[in-house]
Amino acid sequence: MSSSEESSSEESSSERPTAQPRMRAVFQGFLECPAVEDPASSEADVVVIGVPYDLATTGRAGARDGPNAIRAASSHISWENRRWPWRFALRDRIKLVDAGDIEFQVGETRSMVSALQVQVRSVLSSGKTLLTFGGDHYISLPILREHAEKFGPISLIHFDAHTDTEDLEGEFDHGSMFLHAQREGLIDPARSVQVGIRTEYAYEDYPLTVLDTTWVHNHSASETAAKIVQVVGDSPAYLTFDIDCLDPAFAPGTGTPDPGGLSTQLALEIVRGLVVCNIVGMDVVEVAPAYDHAEITALAAASIAAEFLCVVAATENDLDATLS
């Protein structure tokens, strides 16, 4: 039988099929992008890495399983060539690779910090942009160190229910790393903004701009995006999204949920409005699949990360085109 006959669609279903099937690799990169071992020497524009670390959680642990849950959930949205509402194909503009997860000594936070910083430094020095999946939110601190080393004190665009600026004794806590980031001079507080906050923080003389949940719900998505852009300006900005910024109805699978948050739709629309920002790094953190249902949380995280990539790839003209 010739090969053209083997692949004939008119083959009767009662005959035993002979055409070789196409197999999908077991390791699945984010949005089904290729997996690479050495991202720095790859031809990528954006490199995905996972940090399966959750020893800095104060509530429920489990975010160590976040990276693979986000990768798996991304298969539900990877079929879109031109992701709605954008009018361009992401893969035409951004070469994406997935370098897998950081390995470190079990139970040793310093080992994770060191491995993560070396990997981030390597990716940044090769001129590529990093998209990291947590892990708990503490991982943003070592990542910020390497970004500040390259870009200077950078703007933080931080989506979260919590400000993560608690003044605590230990360093390794997912509720205090943005205070450490200020003390280490990694971020420029005057050009940083926290969005969706709905828990206590040091209200008086607080140095960062806070758009709390009530503010966000009393303004439109485009007004919120415009306010973020106004604070950040054109300075290099690091985008970090704690999935607990979303209401637990939209993101139950997380360690420290707090009711009254943003919907996935509202968050996506706000992120979409950040096209003019100079985004130099991104992460999505705190997805804990053990508390998730039907991949709601992991899929929200994957969608937000995909939106980050579109925003990095897009121009203002693309944003206008989405309105037509």
| 221-225: long-range pairs with CB below 8 Å, 24+ | 221/266, 221/269, 221/270, 221/272, 221/273, 222/269, 222/273, 224/195, 224/270, 224/273, 225/269, 225/270, 225/271, 225/272, 225/273, 225/274
Within 10 Å of residue 176's Cβ, how many Cβ atoms?
Answer: 23
Nearer to Mn ion, 65 or 244 (CB): 244
Cite the beta strand spans of the chain per DSSP E. Answer: 46-51, 96-101, 129-134, 155-159, 193-197, 209-212, 236-242, 278-285
Options 68-76, 106-114, 204-212, 238-246: segment touching Mn ion (CB under 5 A):
238-246
CB of 259 to Mn ion, least distance (A): 13
Nearer to Mn ion, 119 or 297 (CB): 297
CB of 80 to Mn ion, least distance (A): 29
Nearer to Mn ion, 59 or 85 (CB): 59
Number of residues that bind Mn ion (CB under 5 A): 5
Should residue 198 be labelled a site residue for Mn ion when binding is judged by CB under 5 A?
A: no
CB of 235 to Mn ion, least distance (A): 24
Nearer to Mn ion, 244 or 295 (CB): 244
Nearer to Mn ion, 136 or 295 (CB): 136
Query: Using the rule CB under 5 A, which residue among 242, 269, 283, 292 binds Mn ion?
Result: 242
Residues 6+ apart with CB under 8 A from 149: 121
91: helix, strand or coil: helix
Query: Using the rule CB under 5 A, which residue among 244, 247, 292, 307 binds Mn ion?
Result: 244
Footprint of Mn ion on 129-188 (CB under 5 A): 160-162
Options 48-56, 59-67, 80-88, 234-242: segment touching Mn ion (CB under 5 A):
234-242
- Cβ contact 216:224 at 8 Å: yes
Cite the beta strand spans of 72-192 per DSSP E. Answer: 96-101, 129-134, 155-159
Nearer to Mn ion, 88 or 172 (CB): 172
Under the rule (CB under 5 A), what is the footprint of Mn ion? 160-162, 242, 244
